[in-house]
């Protein structure tokens, strides 16, 4: 058995997802909310392009993140992590554990987004702390002169969840390191004062503004949709990074559908 590190599977972060996204390829993912290693592995093995481990709203904690990363990254699926909040140490810790990408919630200004991108990148491109022995730096297999190359592997997904973010979206899309502008539909609609009115003219205009800004700067527009029936419509309006619900949603829907069918069979 070879002990040459070059013969082993690549250490995360892996560049494939970011390359595909920036090349304009549509990708499909699922949110992992249950905090279950088994669910994470099952989802990843199902063939999704990416699985998003949700530390903001999901059941998992930061201490449980590593196991889910390993479960997802044992498959071709990429592991994206939504951090608890945009803070230097939280961003750095998740990257040190080897996430293929980060989703950053609740930012509204270009200054805040630039600061977060700075924390995501090693010098001289940013101010991420250099610890060559971490999983995200290849367990000391990446020589110091090449560590900067890891900056190009990490996908940066920044959420658009407020009117202020929508207003600034063209400026946000122009920032190097903002690869995906991802609409949080529930948060955005509530903040706009039209909770859950996803078909309203006001909400549709916001969606189109995000898509236009992303396209103008060679970035991807992203969206969390309710189910696969909505995919074609969102792709048609320029959305290419699509989350199709969550593991918890699949369990709830499957359980209800099976129970309803069983009760119907009982007459």
- What residues are annotated to the active site? 57
| CA distance linking residue 99 with residue 18, whole number of Å | 12
194: tokens are 């039209």
| CA distance linking residue 255 with residue 146, whole number of Å | 49
141: tokens are 């297999």
How many degrees, rounded to 5, is the angle at CA 221 between CA 217 and CA 222?
155
DSSP per residue, 151-215: GGT-EEEEEE-SHHHHHTHHHHHTSTT--EEEE-HHHHHHHTT-TT-TTSHHHHHHHHHHHHHHH
What phi and psi, each to the nearest 5 degrees, are found at residue 35?
A: 75, 20
């Amino acid at each position: 058995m070879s002990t040459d590190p070059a013969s082993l599977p690549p250490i995360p972060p892996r560049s494939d997802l970011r390359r595909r996204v920036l090349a304009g390829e549509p990708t499909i993912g699922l949110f992992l909310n249950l905090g279950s290693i088994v669910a994470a592995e099952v989802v990843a093995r199902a063939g999704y392009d990416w699985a998003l481990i949700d530390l903001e709203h999901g059941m998992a904690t930061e201490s449980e993140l590593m196991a889910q990363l390993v479960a997802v990254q044992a498959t071709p699926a990429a592991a994206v992590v939504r951090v608890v909040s945009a803070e230097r140490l939280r961003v750095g810790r998740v990257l040190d554990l080897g996430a293929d990408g980060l989703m950053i919630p609740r930012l509204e200004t270009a200054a805040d987004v630039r600061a977060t991108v700075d924390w995501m990148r090693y010098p001289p491109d940013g101010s991420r702390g250099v610890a060559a022995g971490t999983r995200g730096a290849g367990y000391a297999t990446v020589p110091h002169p090449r560590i900067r190359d890891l900056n190009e592997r990490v996908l940066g997904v920044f959420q658009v969840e407020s009117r202020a973010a929508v207003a600034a979206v063209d400026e946000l899309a122009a920032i190097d390191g903002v690869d995906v502008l991802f609409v949080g539909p529930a948060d955005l609609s509530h903040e706009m004062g039209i909770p859950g009115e996803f078909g309203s003219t006001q909400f549709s205009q916001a969606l189109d503004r995000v898509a236009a800004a992303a396209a103008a700067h060679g970035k991807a527009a992203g969206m969390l949709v309710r189910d696969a029936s909505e995919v074609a419509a969102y792709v048609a309006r320029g959305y290419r990074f699509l989350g199709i619900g969550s593991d918890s949603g699949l369990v709830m829907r499957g359980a209800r559908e099976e129970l309803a069918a069983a009760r119907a069979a009982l007459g």
